[in-house]
Amino acid sequence: MIFSHPEKPFHYKMLAKFKKLTPLRPYTIYTAPAGKSFGPRDILAEFYPYNREQLGVRNDLFKRSYLKNYQHEQPVYLLGSFRVLSVRQLAASDVFTRGWIVRARSSELEDVDVELVMPGLSKDVAPFASGDTFNLQKRSYASALHVQRMDEDRICITVVPLAYQAVAKAGEEVLTLTPPEMLNMEAYWPITRDPGSEFALENKETVDVAVAKP
């Protein structure tokens, strides 16, 4: 049971204690697993019918598949253009304890938010600013880890780029990410707070979040 369900906080702690965690694989654009890709409208249509219990089961499967390097299940990838609402560094109290996280809203559908986790990104300056717009493309391999239903039938999807490299500022800078050695599975999901449905921003610079060629 412990090995089969590493997404459970107690199981994860036991596996970590006895050094039995499966190391997270550092994928590239050439080795990232095949999966289904959804835009904002498709992802909302997919998860809108789920009740609380069904969503909990699906979220457990998302995390289990990630921790097992997608040995038995394909990832679900998110595509689309998103406008940044907030950016902050990750902390020890978060699920991912090192790097940065971006909260953004779909430019196509305001009912869909995304949390873009950038694990291991060692930058003193935030990689994005509020109001920036970024694109999750197929080569971003932004895999879903958690789907949260919010007020007014909105949803937030937490994603991590499986290829662990991203281009920011229209290709001017390569952001090097690394798979985490340890996660804080007792931390709260989603990782950021809901800014609410009325959060508005002015249009700013558009940036691409796409996996860079090695």
Q: Tell me, what's the pLDDT at 1?
A: 81
pTM for the full predicted model: 0.91
Q: Tell me, what's the pLDDT at 4?
A: 87
* Strand ranges, E, within 57-98: 76-78, 80-89
Q: Tell me, what's the pLDDT at 2?
A: 82
Q: Tell me, what's the pLDDT at 200?
A: 54
* Alpha-carbon Rg for the chain in angstroms: 16
Q: Tell me the pLDDT of the chain (214 aa) as tens digits.
A: 888 899 999 999 999 999 999 999 999 989 999 999 999 999 999 999 999 999 999 999 999 999 999 998 999 999 999 999 999 999 999 999 999 999 999 999 999 999 999 999 988 889 899 999 888 999 889 999 999 999 988 999 999 999 987 655 545 567 889 999 999 999 999 999 998 877 655 444 555 555 443 3
Q: Tell me, what's the pLDDT at 172?
A: 59
Tell me the two tokens of residue 85.
């609402």
Q: Tell me, what's the pLDDT at 213?
A: 37
Say if strands 165-168 and 155-161 run parallel, antiparallel, or are unpaired: unpaired
Q: Tell me, what's the pLDDT at 166?
A: 66
Which residues, other chains included, contact 72 with Cβ-Cβ below 8 Å and sequence gap of 6+? 65
Query: What are the b/e assignments for 46-71, b being 16+ CB within 10 Å?
Result: ebeebeeeebeebbeebbbbbbbebe
In whole angstroms, what is the distance from residue 212 CA to residue 141 CA? 11
